[in-house]
Amino acid sequence: MAWFDAGKPIRVEGGLKARTQRGTIGSTWWSRRFIDILERICDKGRLSRGRAYARQGQVLSIDLSPGEVRAAVQGSRRTPYRIVIRIEAYDEARWTTIEESIAAQAVYRAKLLAGEMPTEIEELFAALGIDLFPRDLDMDCSCPDWGFPCKHLSAVLYLLAESFDDDPFLVLAWRGRTREQLLGSLADDAPVDTLQVADVPFADRLADFYAPGATAHRPERRATTAAPDLLLRVFPPPGDLTRTLTPAYRGLADA
């Protein structure tokens, strides 16, 4: 063990703590896809120590923005280590192409409008010659560990994967498209609140996503409810029938 690993990390009160306290982190296909990439390219020993850091609550903060994740992790030194993880964020022209490809597939479009992540979306990205999940990660940590990644980076990566479980649209937001932007485009500029998919800031989601003293039991996942008039938005009827049918669809849902 290197000299800078000798001390135990300073305990944190109220840090971000992984909900999964035993076994594998990540329960959905998209979070597991991200974890599989990490475990293939990263040092397994440091990934293991990173899981321990994530479960102990050593990560102080995580902020996700297009192409970048910034975080702070408390190690054995008084000053927390600063983390930066970068991937390519796609520009507006590329996202226009992606959205057109999604819109051309009615099933993909319907699932995304209902708040689901279709398993085929990774293949859709690949067909366009781009990646949904990063193959390489440009990562930096202010600690003196030369390993790739260090345990501080590993802790952040695991918590990031677990946050993908709860909100798959964070994967797309990292690539440069927020939930609101994507669904607004797919719904032909329909108000996002009509589709019942509110865009909550990442920092606000973290406030109740990770809780100090979390147990090994994962909270029940709530079923996603599609908007009553979702079918009309995916397959618009001719003429003015949309205006006539929308109240009827909503009335059936209330009944």
pLDDT at 252 over 80: no
pLDDT, the chain, mean: 81
Buried b (16+ CB within 10 A) or exposed e, 223-254: eeebbbbbebbbeeeeeeeeeeeeeebeeeee
Q: What are phi and psi of 6, to 5 degrees?
A: -65, -40
CB 59 within 8 A of CB 15: yes
Domain ranges of the chain: 3-224, 228-255
Give the least confident one: 60-69, 184-193, 241-250. 184-193
Q: Which residues contact 232 (CB under 8 A, 6 or more apart)?
A: 242, 245, 246, 249
Give 2-40 pLDDT, tens digit per residue: 444 446 899 998 999 998 888 778 888 889 889 888 888
Q: What is each CA distance from 11 to 8, 16, 57, 76, 159, in whole angstroms?
A: 9, 12, 8, 9, 18
Q: What are phi and psi of 83, to 5 degrees?
A: -115, 140
Rounded CA-CA distance 105/126 in Å is: 15
Give 220-237 pLDDT, tens digit per residue: 444 445 556 666 565 666
DSSP helix/strand/coil, 16: strand
The single-letter DSSP state of residue 126 is H
Give 93-137 pLDDT, tens digit per residue: 999 999 999 999 989 999 998 888 898 999 999 999 999 998 888
Give 196-229 pLDDT, tens digit per residue: 445 556 556 555 555 454 434 444 444 445 556 6
The single-letter DSSP state of residue 149 is S
pLDDT for position 190:
43
